[in-house]
Amino acid sequence: MPVVGVTTYLEPARWGAWDVTAAVLPHWYLDVLRGVGLDIVLLPPADEPAVTLLDRLDGLVLVGGADVDAARYGATPDPTADVPRTSRDESELALYRAARERGMPVLGVCRGMQVMAVAHGGTLIQDLPSAGYGTTHREQPGQFVDHGARFDDGVVAALYGRSEVVVNSSHHQAVESAGSLTVTGRAVDGTIETCEDPDADFCVGVQWHPEHPDRREADRPLLAAFAAAAERYRSAR
């Protein structure tokens, strides 16, 4: 069975008698990845990430979460931006770059796609509402909204087709420039929804949340394609 590394949040958390900072991850990710035949190793943030751990893995998932620090792409933080998660930014950028050097399959989800874009020299829109985009991508934190998207040539278009499909959304930042990645899908208002590297076996970022329980059937083809790429990588190494 392929084993993939999945990044985690590092946030204040409470359970039982404890109220501490913890490396946490919504169980949704575990459910959906195990559902397509993957085993999982959690990769918590670290100021000096042990990227050599990737030598034992078959794929990398960059999950959603807080905003990427604007300083990572040479911008001044917008007043609406989250407090920087410095160790998480450092870890995920390092892990992503190391995974790409190895030719490892990568799936980026929401923030994960934004990390990918920044790693490729791209930039982010720091506040979609004030940028004038016509679609609501998040009514308030912790809630999801649905909207249409279309996909061009690439992995995602092959899986979903080119007619308009419905995706879910909960973000106030988005990719402005994907750098050296290829933009292969946009929301109906033009917001970037998918980025890919066409030269990789599987290197895909999506702005929506395929791990959400409501998306399990709709997004199973995407997760299954990632799992198949992880199996190919495992067999070849």
pLDDT digits (tens, 9 = 90+) for 86-126: 999 999 999 999 999 999 999 999 999 999 999 999 999 99
Mean pLDDT (the chain) is: 95
DSSP label of 9: E
| 92 given a catalytic annotation | no
Residue range 142-157: mean pLDDT, rounded: 91
DSSP label of 219: T
Residue 135's pLDDT is 64
Of the candidates 120, 147, 171, 209, the residue annotated as catalytic is 209
pTM: 0.96
Q: Which residue has the tokens 């109906």?
A: 188
Position with higher pLDDT, 47 vs 114: 114
- Indicate the pLDDT class of residue 67, thresholds 50, 70 and 90: very high
Of the candidates 92, 110, 172, 203, the residue annotated as catalytic is 110
Residue 49's pLDDT is 86
Q: Considering only the top CATH level, what class is 29-35+48-236? A: alpha beta
Of the candidates 92, 193, 196, 211, the residue annotated as catalytic is 211
- Indicate the pLDDT class of residue 162, thresholds 50, 70 and 90: confident
Contact assessment for residue 125 and residue 131, using Cβ atoms and an 8 Å cutoff: yes
| 211 given a catalytic annotation | yes
| 139 given a catalytic annotation | no
Backbone angle region of 37, left / alpha / beta, with phi > 0 → left and psi within -120 to 50 → alpha: left
pLDDT at 171 over 90: no
- Say how far residue 188 (Cα) sits from the centre of its chain: 20
